[in-house]
């Protein structure tokens, strides 16, 4: 009997209620199937069961969130949070299987030369304020993103888009200066979520803080920074055309409240105590305990994110502009040990810029950046650095001593401390500088010796480009990196006219980063979602960074 058959058999017993959740976990463990894998299967089962059960309308979903909230203005925010997925919609959406599906656009067509995308906008959608969502309304959003005055942080991803036209109410045309197949992966993300620009323009100071006008199934209630965001059911929601949603009409829930639980250890405790119904990212050291709790379902999978370690190319006195120096630093980092000790095996080493779970991942990157202290020492020696009496590297009277700026968060602090210790092994004296979020980004923009950064983005290559390309030198290319081979690869990615060209460009990009290291990839963590058994229809999945709430209901 294959493992698949055994798992299927267990799940059949579970569905038939011959086996409790605790029994399922125990039997699965006896078969050598990880709790995480079973958790995902059980979650999927619950979602399927939820579709079969009759949903009960009403109730407030309480979700714990591991970060503080950002402004709910897709055009200008620097980060977006789960509330976005209740308030806003995009033209297209990723299904749990990773396929692009319609959301506000019924369909789209990419021209043969890859230079034009024509969307057919679904009729009937409207904003919370009552305005119809038509092609001109979406054009206004995309124009706002392109307008530098609005400070859209990823507007550069729309650079190839020369014009946005809305010849009629249901047709939206993006015309590009060059083939840009990737544009579909751009417009499905939260920064391209559709808001009512008229409301936004009329409320410039307060939009996203106390006023939100989106198209999602929930309307904004309140945001208390540092505490929570709350939304309420929008009874007039005209419905959704997303194929994978079971519920095409208004939401089942009366509302959702996301609470920022910034003290890491508290997150697991709160879901164990039933103070919240769902949770994003407990501390990884708490995951095994939560997986052993029969009242909870835990899902864990590699998220489209990464921790990167950047050096300031302008510190030429430290040879950070030299590829050999960056390779030496990279060889000194023991990524596998970090995954084991700090991520509790809930993550992967990064030898290239993107997670191994990504569909564009190129395994060839693993020939680079392996842990090799002797190779690291040889590389710094080739550049003329020799250890002084204290074991610290010196060259021309300059000591290899520099700051590592990290954002104040427990994992960041631990990772900073590990990198500090590992670089000491090759004679580098690193001072970890821990800063709160505001000061951290201020320091990065003003210029720092080196930094640790965590990114999260549905299509990782799109965002990594911003940290390494010459075009974004300064911010968010905080290391002021400029590597011609990387710029060439970025150009190939941004001019790919079809999927094949995109894959080839993706490989070229990954290999150029892995070899020349404009930023040093370190590790990727798993995202972990936990829910209590009363939560039905809630289905986080690896192809989107947060779950959607249309199908969610609370069992009594």
Partner 1 sequence: MSNAATPAPFVTSAGTGAPRGPLRVAWSRLSANKLAMVGAIVALLYIVVGIAGPWFTPYDYAKQDLMHANLPPLSPGHILGTDQVGRDMFSRLVLGIRISLVIGFGVTIVSMVIGTIAGSVAGYYRGAIDTVISGIVEITWGFPLVLIAVILSGSVGRGLLAVVLAIGFVNWAGFARIMRGEVLSLREAEYVQAARATGTPDARILVRHILPNAIAPALVMGSYYVALAIIVEAGLSFIGLGAQAPLPSLGVMVAEGRNYMLQNHWVTTVPGVAILIIVLALNLLGDGLRDILDPRLRNR
Decide: 469 and 487 in contact? Cβ < 8 Å.
yes
Nearest to 244 by CA among 457, 542, 539, 39: 539
Collapsed DSSP state (helix, strand, coil) of residue 554: strand
Q: At what angle do helices 484-494 and 499-516 cross, to 10 degrees?
A: 160
Stretch that binds partner 1, among 83-91, 426-434, 478-486, 512-520 (CB under 8 A): 426-434
∠ CA(51), CA(459), CA(251), 5° rounding?
30
- Non-local (6+) Cβ contacts of 483 within 8 A are 323, 468, 470, 512, 516, 518
Q: What tokens appear for 513 in the block?
A: 């980063």
Stretch that binds partner 1, among 76-84, 147-155, 193-201, 417-425 (CB under 8 A): 417-425
Alpha helices by DSSP H, listed for 31-134, are 35-52, 84-87
348 Cα distance to chain centroid? 15
Collapsed DSSP state (helix, strand, coil) of residue 434: strand
CB 391 → partner 1: shortest distance, Å?
A: 11
* Given 246, 285, 293, 482, the residue binding partner 1 (CB under 8 A): 285
Residues 68-107 close enough to bind partner 1 by CB under 8 A? none
Nearer to partner 1, 371 or 543 (CB): 371
Q: Is 424 in the site for partner 1 (CB under 8 A)?
A: yes
Q: Is 342 in the site for partner 1 (CB under 8 A)?
A: yes
Nearest to 515 by CA among 371, 381, 351, 359: 351
Q: Is 395 in the site for partner 1 (CB under 8 A)?
A: no
Q: C-alpha distances in angstroms, 396 versus 119, 135, 318, 387?
A: 60, 62, 10, 12
CB 520 → partner 1: shortest distance, Å?
A: 18
Nearer to partner 1, 145 or 444 (CB): 444
Nearer to partner 1, 80 or 411 (CB): 411
Nearer to partner 1, 510 or 526 (CB): 526
Decide: 306 and 532 in contact? Cβ < 8 Å.
no
Cα four-point dihedral sign 18, 23, 25, 26: negative
Residues 219-278 close enough to bind partner 1 by CB under 8 A? 264-265, 268
Decide: 297 and 42 in contact? Cβ < 8 Å.
yes
Q: What tokens appear for 271 in the block?
A: 């879901």
Nearer to partner 1, 91 or 342 (CB): 342
Nearer to partner 1, 395 or 413 (CB): 413
Total binding residues toward partner 1, as defined by CB under 8 A: 27
* Given 416, 427, 479, 521, the residue binding partner 1 (CB under 8 A): 416
DSSP 196-213: -HHHHHHTTTTBTTTB--
Q: Is 334 in the site for partner 1 (CB under 8 A)?
A: yes
Nearer to partner 1, 96 or 264 (CB): 264
Q: Is 213 in the site for partner 1 (CB under 8 A)?
A: no
CB 389 → partner 1: shortest distance, Å?
A: 17
Q: Is 383 in the site for partner 1 (CB under 8 A)?
A: no
Stretch that binds partner 1, among 214-222, 233-241, 429-437, 440-448 (CB under 8 A): 429-437
Q: Is 443 in the site for partner 1 (CB under 8 A)?
A: no
Nearer to partner 1, 81 or 286 (CB): 286
Q: Is 286 in the site for partner 1 (CB under 8 A)?
A: yes
Q: Is 373 in the site for partner 1 (CB under 8 A)?
A: no
CB 94 → partner 1: shortest distance, Å?
A: 32
Strands 297-302 and 429-435: unpaired
- How many residues would you count in the chain? 556
Nearer to partner 1, 399 or 424 (CB): 424
* Given 341, 398, 484, 498, the residue binding partner 1 (CB under 8 A): 341
How many CA atoms within 13 Å lie on the side-chain side of 512? 24
Q: Is 293 in the site for partner 1 (CB under 8 A)?
A: no
Q: What tokens appear for 75 in the block?
A: 């055009």
User: Which residues are at the interface with partner 1 (CB under 8 A)?
Assistant: 264-265, 268, 283, 285-286, 289, 334, 337-338, 340-342, 408, 410, 413-414, 416-418, 420-422, 424, 431-432, 434
């Amino acid at each position: 009997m294959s493992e698949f058959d055994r798992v299927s058999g267990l799940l059949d017993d579970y569905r038939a209620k011959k086996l409790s959740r605790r029994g399922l976990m125990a039997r699965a463990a006896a078969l050598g199937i990880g709790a995480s894998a079973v958790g995902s299967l059980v979650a999927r089962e619950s979602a399927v069961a939820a579709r079969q059960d009759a949903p009960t309308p009403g109730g407030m979903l309480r979700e714990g969130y591991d970060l503080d909230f950002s402004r709910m203005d897709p055009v200008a925010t620097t980060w977006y949070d789960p509330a976005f997925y209740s308030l806003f919609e995009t033209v297209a959406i990723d299904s749990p299987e990773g396929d692009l599906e319609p959301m506000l656009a019924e369909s789209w067509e990419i021209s043969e030369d890859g230079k034009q995308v024509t969307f057919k906008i679904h009729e009937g959608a409207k904003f919370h304020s009552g305005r119809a969502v038509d092609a001109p309304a979406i054009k206004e959003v995309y124009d706002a993103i392109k307008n530098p005055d609005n400070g859209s942080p990823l507007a550069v991803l729309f650079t190839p888009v020369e014009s946005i036209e809305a010849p009629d109410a249901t047709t939206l045309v993006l015309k590009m200066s060059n083939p840009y197949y990737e544009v579909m992966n751009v417009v499905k993300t939260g920064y391209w979520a559709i808001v009512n620009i008229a409301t936004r323009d009329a409320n410039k100071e307060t939009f996203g803080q106390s006023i939100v006008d989106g198209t999602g199934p929930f309307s904004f209630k309140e945001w208390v920074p540092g505490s929570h965001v709350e939304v309420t059911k929008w009874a007039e929601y005209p419905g959704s055309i997303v194929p994978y949603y079971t519920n095409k009409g208004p939401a089942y829930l009366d509302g959702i409240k996301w609470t920022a639980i910034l003290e890491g250890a508290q997150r697991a405790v709160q879901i164990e105590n039933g103070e919240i119904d769902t949770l994003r990212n407990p501390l990884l050291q708490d995951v095994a305990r939560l997986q052993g709790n029969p009242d909870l379902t835990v899902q864990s999978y590699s998220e489209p994110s990464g921790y990167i370690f950047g050096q300031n190319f302008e510190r030429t006195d430290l040879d950070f502009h030299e590829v050999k120096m960056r390779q030496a630093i990279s060889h000194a980092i023991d990524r596998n040990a970090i995954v084991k000790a700090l991520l509790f095996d809930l993550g992967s080493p990064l030898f290239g810029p993107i997670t191994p779970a990504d569909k564009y991942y190129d395994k060839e990157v693993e020939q680079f950046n392996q842990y090799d202290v002797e190779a690291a020492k040889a590389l710094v020696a080739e550049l003329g650095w020799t250890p002084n009496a204290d074991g610290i590297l010196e060259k021309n009277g300059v000591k290899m001593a520099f700051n590592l700026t990290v954002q104040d968060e427990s994992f960041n602090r631990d990772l900073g401390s590990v990198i500090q210790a590992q670089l000491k092994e090759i004679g580098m004296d690193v001072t970890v500088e821990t800063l709160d979020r505001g000061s951290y980004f201020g320091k990065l923009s003003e210029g720092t010796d080196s930094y640790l950064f965590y990114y999260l983005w549905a299509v990782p290559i799109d965002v990594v480009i911003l940290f390494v390309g010459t075009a974004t030198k300064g911010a968010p290319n905080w290391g002021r990196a400029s590597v011609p081979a990387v710029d060439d690869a970025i150009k190939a990615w941004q001019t790919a006219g079809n999927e094949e060209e995109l894959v080839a460009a993706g490989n070229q990009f990954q290999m150029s980063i892995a070899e020349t290291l404009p930023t040093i990839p370190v590790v990727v963590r798993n995202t972990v979602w936990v829910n209590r058994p009363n939560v039905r229809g809630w289905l986080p999945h690896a192809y989107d960074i947060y779950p959607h709430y249309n199908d969610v209901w609370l069992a009594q």
